[in-house]
Amino acid sequence: MKLHRYSVNMGETGLLVKSDKGGVEDRVIGAVSEAREDILSHFERFPDFRWSLEPVERPDVPMPWFIGSMYDAGRLAEVGPFASIAGVLAHVAALAAVEAGASSVIVENGGDLCIHGVGPFTVGIFAGDSPFSSMGFRVTPGGSFAGLCTSSGTVGNSISLGDADAVVAFTPDSPAVADALATSVCNEVRGTDGIQRGIEKAKRLGIGGVAIISGERMGAWGVLPDMVEVDRDGKDLVLDSEVHSRA
């Protein structure tokens, strides 16, 4: 599948967008810019929305759908609302591309993805030096906006209380929930029994599916896309025409 590729960079937000329709960049950029302004204004009024590491009660005030979804994601995954910021902005961008006429789109926001369309889309896993970095998922979201999001205690700059190389979470219709779920489960992966602790947390939450990678070990729970082997061969998967992005 040939996809047009472009980037959206605003402040801390760096999106890679691929869509089957060109010329949608302005719509995507405008939607992401507006969403960021709304989110910044909201946490100025409600600082706990930004800084709490635990769920926050949703205030009884009007708010855009994406801010409401962040509160809901935090409650479902037992983390703070802002744990879902990357996933929700990816969702905003993908929705804008579809509204502008795209039928297939994949948006990556630092390893957190929103995927929409027939596909299938192959997404590589990045888990540092783990041998499981040679694997990936084949995602066929259809008409929904699927979330495939990653949290790591050893790779990247995101806040994590755990030490997993990668926790990849999948939800068929909510990138915000997938992002929050990845963070929540990754926080539990510590020490020699970390994978089992993470699996137990995922089971208790009972949402989506997760794959947990720690060194040469991997565990999984829930419903996940098919796992496939990815031929990296020194390639940057973001630029690979067959592997559309990396989680």
Number of other residues whose CB lies within 10 A of the CB of residue 234: 5
Burial 185-198 (b: 16+ CB within 10 A, else e): bbbbbbeeebbebb
SS3 content of the chain, % helix, strand, coil (to 5): 35, 30, 35
Question: What distance in Å separates the CA atoms of residue 115 and residue 83, rounded to the nearest whole number?
Answer: 19
In angstroms, the Cα distances linking 17 to 154, 183, 237 are 26, 23, 14
pLDDT value of position 239: 45
Task: Decide if pLDDT at 74 tops 90.
Answer: yes
Kindly report the CATH number assigned to the domain that includes residue 20: 3.10.520.10
Q: Is the pLDDT of residue 95 over 70?
A: yes
Q: How many domains does the chain have?
A: 1
Q: Is the pTM of this model over 0.85?
A: yes
Letter for the amino acid at 114?
A: C
In three-state form (DSSP H/G/I as H, E/B as E, the rest C), the secondary structure along 27-41 is: HHHHHHHHHHHHHHH
Kindly report, residue by residue over 8-21, the tens digit of the pLDDT: 999 889 999 999 99
The proportion of the chain whose per-residue pLDDT surpasses 70, expressed as a percent, equals 88
Closest C-alpha to 39, from 67, 13, 58: 67
Contacts of 159 (CB under 8 A, 6+ apart): none
Domain that holds residue 238: 4-246
Q: pLDDT > 90: what percent of the chain?
A: 66
Band the pLDDT of 107: cuts 50, 70, 90. very high
Higher pLDDT, 63 or 141: 63
Pairing of strands 13-19, 121-124: unpaired
* Average pLDDT over the chain, rounded to an integer: 88
Q: Which residue has the tokens 């930004």?
A: 50
Q: Radius of gyration over alpha carbons of the chain, in Å?
A: 17
d(CA 152, CA 161): 9
Q: Give the residue-averaged pLDDT of 50-76.
A: 97
In this structure, how many other beta carbons lie within 10 angstroms of the beta carbon of residue 1?
14
Burial class (CB in 10 A: 0-12, 13-18, 19+), 181: buried
| Residue 70: pLDDT over 80 | yes
Mean pLDDT of 104-121: 92
